Amino acid sequence: MNSDSNKDKIVVIDFGSQVTKLIARRIREYSVLSKILTLKDLKKKNIFRNVKGIVLSGGPSTVTKNSFPKIPNEIFNLNIPILGICYGLQLIVKQFKGKVKANIKKREFGRAVLIKKKNSLLTKNFFKKNKSVVWMSHQDSVYKLPLDFSKIASTSQSTMTIIENKKRKIYGIQFHPEVTHTNNGNIIFKNFIFDICKAKKQWKLVFEKKRIIKEIKQTVQKSKVICALSGGVDSSVVALLIHKAIGKNLKCIMVDTGLMRKNEFKESYQIFKNKYKLNVKIIDASKIYFKNLRNITDPEKKRKIIGSLFIKIFETEAKLFKDVKFLAQGTLYPDIIESRSVSGSKTSKIKSHHNVGGLPKKMNLKLIEPLKEFFKDEVRKLGNAVGLAKSISKKHPFPGPGLAIRIIGNITTKKVKILQEADHIFINELIKSNLYDKIWQAYVALLPVKTVGVMGDSRTYEYICLIRAVISEDGMTADYFNFPKNFLDEISNKIINNVKGINRVVYDITSKPPSTIELE
């Protein structure tokens, strides 16, 4: 029996919302074990063993159609508290014979003001002066409560925004407490987990480390794994986890695409080889990358080319090692949801993230992606648990396609050099000024535009570079960082004085959304 089965847990039944994993994460933030279940999982034996609470997620379906995803009615009789979020709320109402209707005129997307109508354990300490700002994303609304349910809070557009059946401990909320745009959303989870479900804190991230290592051992057995190691946080954590699980049977490969930050490639190689004693092989593929990317300006094409070249190199490499059956990658949860296409979710595809979108349909190697359930900050903590040096675990995220998506337009070796120099100056200044750790991600991008300047007494006609620095919780949303003016002055001077090829520096002050963190 695995150790998790004896722990108190809250399960999240997934109806396909883009943010289901965020619910599980919010629960884990309170040190309570949380598992996501699909509707199929519900058929398994003992699936509700030690389950102290059930959350029904949101999702793209509607209960107003003849057929819609639902849970067996018996689950409502297990005497386990239930919290339905968005679609989850509508499903509770439908299964208890209340009424829900599609209401295009009253749909709500974005922020809404929630007004308290009644006290509830679920909303203890949640409202400030009987109000709260919440994040909505719905078009169906409840218009008739089922028997024994009461209304706890409303917005101007939906009267039954929070409902409860106190006796049976069944709760429903129309908004999304799991997203950071909802003020105090975590308090709803805290109340549900501890006051309503009475769950005990029995979960720690270090347990995940043990679970992952055990799972890797079981999956890989005596065969071998090759791991794409870039020197970033994610692939480093993956490599160390797999190394702990299977030792020498892990072969790490560092592909030099020529699209990394200045000096980064060599420095990472030294650390992995000398400090962690990993089995690392370097492949210099920069020529082939530049050749394949020549005159490519479309961002999606760039990503696809880089992704599939990367896999091809790995497959070729794998053939050189006997018994390699697996390819390990540092894919994170946000990489997967942002690459997911329209099917199965209301969101349309945003970008083909390198780790996900570039993979060919048919692959000879099986993928191992031990971090695909996690968010960046959780991965950093896993890194600390597995002994990763702080200099790596604190590194800002760096995208798989590298500088290719930070050079807008076509890519040349000359542009890469210019960009590397400017980026190096910026990042070093951030570190020197103690700003690096306050920022979630920072970089310089090169724009495909030349403008006129004057240096000394001569006219210049050079590129513009763009500085990006954002604060964020998990990369899903982000705000630009508010630099002191003198810092920006200094950066601009330093770049222009030291980098031949740039004569203008601009600072990007857009948030995500509407922009994304990377430019392409």
Q: Which positions are catalytic?
A: 86, 176, 178
Contacts of 489 (CB under 8 A, 6+ apart): none
Cβ at position 397, least distance to ligand XMP in Å: 4
| Contact pick of 354, 380, 424, 504 for ligand XMP (by CB under 6 A) | 354
| CB contact at 8 A, 388 and 240 | yes
| Contact pick of 355, 393, 420, 503 for ligand XMP (by CB under 6 A) | 355
Cβ at position 479, least distance to ligand XMP in Å: 12
Cβ at position 358, least distance to ligand XMP in Å: 8
Stretch that binds ligand XMP, among 66-74, 84-92, 172-180, 349-357 (CB under 6 A): 349-357
Q: What is the enclosing helix (H) or strand (E) of 53?
A: strand 51-56
Measured between alpha carbons, how far is 300 from 520 in angstroms, rounded to an integer? 8
- Of 371-410, binders to ligand XMP (CB under 6 A) are 397, 399-401
Q: Does 236 bind ligand XMP (CB under 6 A)?
A: no
Q: Which is nearer to ligand XMP, 32 or 419 (CB)?
A: 419
Cβ at position 282, least distance to ligand XMP in Å: 20
Phi, psi of 466 (to 5 degrees): -115, 135
Token pair of 4, please? 């998790």
Tracing tokens 């769950």 back to the chain, one arrives at 199
Q: Does 517 bind ligand XMP (CB under 6 A)?
A: yes
| Contact pick of 353, 380, 406, 468 for ligand XMP (by CB under 6 A) | 353
Q: Which is nearer to ligand XMP, 88 or 401 (CB)?
A: 401
Q: Which of 413, 403, 508 is nearest to 464 (CA)?
A: 508
- For the residues of 389-412, what is the DSSP string, one character each? -HHHHTPPP--TTGGGGTB-S---
Stretch that binds ligand XMP, among 77-85, 189-197, 209-217, 348-356 (CB under 6 A): 348-356
Count of residues touching ligand XMP (by CB under 6 A): 17
Indicate the burial class of 358 (C-beta count within 10 angstroms; 0-12, 13-18, 19 or more).
buried
Measured between alpha carbons, how far is 44 from 39 in angstroms, rounded to an integer? 10
Q: Does 231 bind ligand XMP (CB under 6 A)?
A: no
Cβ at position 300, least distance to ligand XMP in Å: 11
Q: Does 351 bind ligand XMP (CB under 6 A)?
A: yes
Cβ at position 518, least distance to ligand XMP in Å: 3
Token pair of 219, please? 């999956």
Cβ at position 347, least distance to ligand XMP in Å: 12
Task: Provide the 8-state DSSP code for 389.
Answer: -
| CB contact at 8 A, 358 and 308 | yes
Cβ at position 132, least distance to ligand XMP in Å: 28
How far is the CA of 500 from the CAs of 89, 495, 504, in angstroms? 59, 9, 11
Q: Which of 29, 455, 79, 458 is nearest to 205 (CA)?
A: 29
| Contact pick of 8, 338, 369, 421 for ligand XMP (by CB under 6 A) | 338
Q: Does 299 bind ligand XMP (CB under 6 A)?
A: no
| Number of neighbours of residue 7 by Cβ within 10 angstroms | 17
- Of 437-456, binders to ligand XMP (CB under 6 A) are 441
Measured between alpha carbons, how far is 491 from 421 in angstroms, rounded to an integer? 12
- For the residues of 238-270, what is the DSSP string, one character each? HHHHHHHHHGGGEEEEEEE-S-SPTTHHHHHHH
Could you tell me the maximum CA-CA distance found in the chain, to the nearest angstrom?
83
Alpha helices in 143-220 (DSSP H): 185-190, 205-220
Q: Does 176 bind ligand XMP (CB under 6 A)?
A: no
The mark string for 410-429 relative to ligand XMP (x by CB under 6 A, - otherwise) is: --------------------
The mark string for 73-112 relative to ligand XMP (x by CB under 6 A, - otherwise) is: ----------------------------------------
- Of 111-140, binders to ligand XMP (CB under 6 A) are none
Beta strands in 117-210 (DSSP E): 131-138, 140-144, 150-154, 162-165, 170-173
| CB contact at 8 A, 336 and 375 | no
Q: Which is nearer to ligand XMP, 89 or 466 (CB)?
A: 466
Q: Which is nearer to ligand XMP, 164 or 474 (CB)?
A: 474
Q: Which is nearer to ligand XMP, 23 or 306 (CB)?
A: 306
The mark string for 495-514 relative to ligand XMP (x by CB under 6 A, - otherwise) is: -----------------x--
Token pair of 111, please? 């922020």
Q: Which is nearer to ligand XMP, 153 or 255 (CB)?
A: 255
Q: Which is nearer to ligand XMP, 12 or 359 (CB)?
A: 359
Q: Which of 103, 124, 116, 283 is nearest to 192 (CA)?
A: 124
| Contact pick of 50, 412, 492, 516 for ligand XMP (by CB under 6 A) | 516
| Contact pick of 8, 208, 264, 335 for ligand XMP (by CB under 6 A) | 335
Measured between alpha carbons, how far is 111 from 118 in angstroms, rounded to an integer? 21
| CB contact at 8 A, 93 and 159 | no
Task: Give residues in contact with ligand XMP (CB under 6 A).
Answer: 303, 335, 338, 351, 353-355, 397, 399-401, 441, 475, 512, 516-518
